[in-house]
Amino acid sequence: MKILDGAMISGITGIPMTTGTNHTPLAIEEYIPWVGRNCMKMDGGGLNESTVYKNVYATGRWIKANVLGTMHVSSFYRDELHIIHAMMTRDDNFCMVRKLFKTLCSVREERAKIPNLLLPLPCLVTEIASQWRL
């Protein structure tokens, strides 16, 4: 029986694992200088999508839909902003493989509560299933 781990995700995606330690997102206010000067903070704790730079908006929507499997239609939260910030600053301490692994593990727990929840990373999940011969 194969066990899903970072090495398997790294092999499937071709993204190298790093030994980085940057796994905790910053406070939402610390991302504002990077994503838009006139960002508005929402009541729920995220940043209003319409107030960020256009390139951040497009990248963030893609990350939400294809990496994190969420579709908050009006705001960006810490997880999306953490990935965008790591890409913008070319942060060597950020490990995308660990973020993908954490996403898959959290979805597994959420699916127990919400059976119809859409899976994030559909291509990665399909490739894992074919490797496991499911």
Pair (74, 126) in one structural domain: no
Where does the pLDDT of residue 117 fall: very low under 50, low under 70, confident under 90, or very high at 90 and above?
low
* Mean pLDDT score, 33-44: 85
Host domain of residue 104 = 1-17+95-134
Most confident of 12-16, 38-42, 99-103: 38-42
Which residue would you say has higher pLDDT here, 39 or 119? 39
* Mean pLDDT score, 24-44: 85
Pair (68, 50) in one structural domain: yes
The answer to whether 122 and 69 have CB atoms below 8 angstroms apart is: no
The first and second tokens of residue 88, run together, are 């913008």
Q: Which residues are bridge partners to 75 per DSSP?
A: 48
Please report which residue ranges of the chain form alpha helices under DSSP H: 6-13, 28-35, 54-63, 78-89, 96-113, 122-132
Pair (68, 105) in one structural domain: no
Pair (114, 84) in one structural domain: no
Q: Is 45 left (phi over 0), alpha (psi -120 to 50) or beta?
A: left
Pair (12, 31) in one structural domain: no
Is the pLDDT at 134 greater than 50, yes or no?
no
Pair (64, 32) in one structural domain: yes
Pair (35, 77) in one structural domain: yes
Within 10 Å of residue 66's Cβ, how many Cβ atoms? Answer: 13
Q: Which residues are bridge partners to 90 per DSSP?
A: none
Is the pLDDT at 69 greater than 60, yes or no?
yes
Percent of the chain topping pLDDT 70: 71
Pair (71, 130) in one structural domain: no
Which residue would you say has higher pLDDT here, 133 or 49? 49
Pair (89, 35) in one structural domain: yes
Number of domains in the chain: 2
Pair (47, 77) in one structural domain: yes
Pair (82, 102) in one structural domain: no
Is the pLDDT at 12 greater than 70, yes or no?
yes
Within 10 Å of residue 49's Cβ, how many Cβ atoms? Answer: 21
Pair (89, 100) in one structural domain: no
Which amino acid, one-letter code, is at 123? C
